[in-house]
Structures are given as structure tokens and as C-alpha cells.
Amino acid sequence: MHKMDFLQPQEKELSLSFIQKGYIIQPTEDRAALDRIQSQIATLAATFLGKEPPQNPTDFLNNIANSIGIAQLNDLRLHVISGLMETDWFRKAYFSCARSLLETLVGNELVMQRNLGLSVQLPHDDSSLLPLHSDVWGSECSPFEVVLWIPLVDCYRTKSMFVLPASLDRQWRDRMHEFADKGTESLFEAIEPEVEWLKVPYGNVVVFTPTIMHGNRVNQEATTRWTLNIRFKGVFTPYSDKRLGEYFSPISVRPVSRIGMKFQLPGGFNE
């Protein structure tokens, strides 16, 4: 029996690359939406600091360390997150930055994480680290999810995140038992020669599978890292502990699915 595969050539190319690497980097599909998000974040940060909205959001965000220290950093981050969650256009704008890519990789009936992740990592700050991990090692994350990771400034080297490409991740996963008593730092030291530091200039987005090992280290660059991350998955895929209505909200359920979910047989047929 012939295998049926009706994907378009570009979809096949993206799919193969994603399966092999575990991530895709591409230009945003809606630059105006991304610029609007960046401007809103810069304005929220400036308000927290008692400053006027910046004329150049990129420079302001890059050099935020000139205006704030580590002690205030989490309060700033929470202020920005709260402001974004109250912005009625934010979630739709975020989705528009990679809509067709998400639909190619995940499907066109999607749910979106209700909350959002914001990373603000000052230069040489060791208080904002995300050690090596894979989100599906615990029971909370489903392997059917992807993360849409969007930098608000140029991200490179230690100002970015590292990933272990999927083809290598599978090999190291089989050796995890060797590090059971050594900790994740020992595991990172072992895989470090093989990890990739994602180079993502502002204006680009990343979609990656949380099944691969990833994380960040101390930002050794001269400017601050600002990145957003939100998870997406197919509405009818397994949810693990992060459930629909609690952690995820539907954003693109199609009419036939809506009809099917509400349909009830009339009485008498099963009597």
C-alpha cells in the first residue's frame, strides 16, 4: 500500500528539517505585529522605571542594565507580563508572527498557552538561568507541544538559548542513566561540544519542540536578552497535566469540529 503524503513541497521541507533539528528559525510572518509587541514591552518597562516611552525600543531594551539592577529585575518582568496580559491585541499579534509555520508543523486547529514566558537576562547575571532540561522529562508537558520563542533584541552566543539538535538528543537520551547521580551540570558538560547556540536576529522567530534538551547560561554579552515564549499544540492531542481551559485556550477550532463536539444523537436509536 502506497504511503499517502499530500503535503506541499515546502511543507515537506520544513517538516523534515524540524524532525531532524527539533527547531525552525525563520523571519516573522508579521513584522508590524512584532514591532508593536516590542514597542509595547519597551513602554511597559519604561513606565516601571518612571521614564517616557523610548523612541528606539531596541536600544532601550538592549541597554536596560543601565537603569535597573538584579534586585528589581523580577518586579520589572512581572510588571511587563501583567501589562501584556491586559493588552487585548497581544495574543493575536503573537500568533500572527508565525501562524503559517505553526499550522504546517502542528496543525490548523490549535490551542495557545494562556500565560506567557518572558526572559530578561542582564549581562553577567546568574540569577536568571534556565539549566539544561527537556520539558517532557516531567509529567506536566506533552510531547505534542511546540514553543514559539521570539526575541525582542538580537540574540546570539550566550545572549541566546542553546539546544541539542533532535538527532543528537535521541542518542544522549539513551545514555541518561549514566548521569542519574551526577546532576544536569555534568550532563551539560558532556553534551556541550554538540549543543547549538541559536543565532536569532530581531525580526526572526523560533519554533522548537520541548522534547529536546535546551536551556541558557550566564549572558556574557554586553547587552540584555529579552525573549518571549508561548506554547501551542493541536486541540485534539494529549494534554498531560497542562489541560485545556486551565493552561491552554483554543484559538482556531474549525466549524466541523465545533459541530461534532456539540452533536447528540436523537433518542430512540440505542433503545
If you average pLDDT over residues 130-151, what whole number do you get? Answer: 86
| pLDDT (0 to 100) of residue 109 | 97
- Whether 271 shows a pLDDT value over 60: the answer reads no
Does residue 181 surpass a pLDDT of 90?
no
34: closest CA among 164, 166, 150?
150
E-strand ranges in 104-211 read 110-113, 117-121, 146-151, 162-163, 196-197, 204-208
Q: What is the pTM for the complete model shown?
A: 0.93
More confident residue, 4 or 162: 162
Please name the helix (run of DSSP H) or strand (run of DSSP E) that holds residue 225, with its range, or none: strand 225-234
- The answer on pLDDT for 139 being more than 70 is no
pLDDT at 237: 93
Q: What is the mean pLDDT of the chain?
A: 92
pLDDT at 1: 53
Q: Which structural domains are found in the chain, ordered by start? A: 9-236 (2.60.120.620)
What distance in Å separates the CA atoms of residue 50 and residue 46, rounded to the nearest whole number? 6
Closest CA to 217 of 128, 120, 143: 128
Give the helix/strand (H/E) hosting 249: strand 248-250
- Is the distance from CB of 225 to CB of 160 less than 8 angstroms? yes
Measured CA to CA, the distance from residue 47 to residue 84 in angstroms comes to 13
Lowest-pLDDT choice from 3-12, 37-46, 59-68, 198-207: 3-12
Write down the pLDDT at residue 5. Answer: 84
Helices (H), ranges, the chain: 9-21, 31-48, 57-62, 70-85, 90-96, 99-105, 166-173, 184-191, 255-262
pLDDT at 178 over 90: no
Mean pLDDT of 36-56: 97
The pLDDT of residue 75: 97
pLDDT tens-place string over residues 86-97: 999 999 999 999
pLDDT, tens digit (0-9, with 9 covering 90-100), for 2-23 = 677 888 999 999 999 999 999 9
Task: Give yes or no for residue 111 having a pLDDT over 80.
Answer: yes
Q: Give me the amino acid identity at 136.
A: V
For the ranges 43-47, 88-92, 191-195, the lowest mean pLDDT is seen at: 191-195
